[in-house]
């Protein structure tokens, strides 16, 4: 699913691209030992539990893909 996030980081939808790029960066930081598991999970979930996402998301398919990918990468599915 990290590949899905990488693809979404190049999306023409700025709200999705920004969150996917941040998720990839957080995942790389976690893999490198820069974040503990709790911090990583909380930061990842904050990317999608934000009420701003509901306001910004203009494409439900992209939103669903982003949420699913972040849940899977963060270990919440």
Report how far residue 18's alpha carbon sits from residue 76's, in angstroms, rounded to the nearest whole number: 21
Compute the distance between CA of residue 35 and CA of residue 28 in angstroms, rounded to an integer: 9
pLDDT digits over 8-18, tens only? 999 999 999 99
> Residue 27 and residue 2: Cα distance in Å, rounded?
8
pLDDT tops 80 at residue 65: yes
Greater model confidence, 49 or 61: 61
So where are the chain's domains?
2-74
Split at pLDDT 50, 70, 90, the class of 52 is: confident
The verdict on pTM exceeding 0.85 is: yes
Question: What pLDDT score was predicted for residue 32?
Answer: 96
pLDDT computed for residue 76 by the predictor: 67
């Amino acid at each position: 699913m990290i590949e899905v996030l990488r693809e979404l980081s190049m999306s023409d939808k700025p709200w999705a691209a920004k969150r996917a790029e941040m998720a990839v960066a957080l995942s790389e930081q976690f893999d490198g030992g820069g974040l503990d598991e709790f911090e990583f999970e909380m930061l990842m979930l904050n990317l999608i539990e934000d009420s701003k996402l509901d306001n910004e998301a203009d494409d439900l398919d992209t939103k669903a893909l982003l949420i699913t990918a972040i849940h899977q990468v963060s270990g919440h599915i």
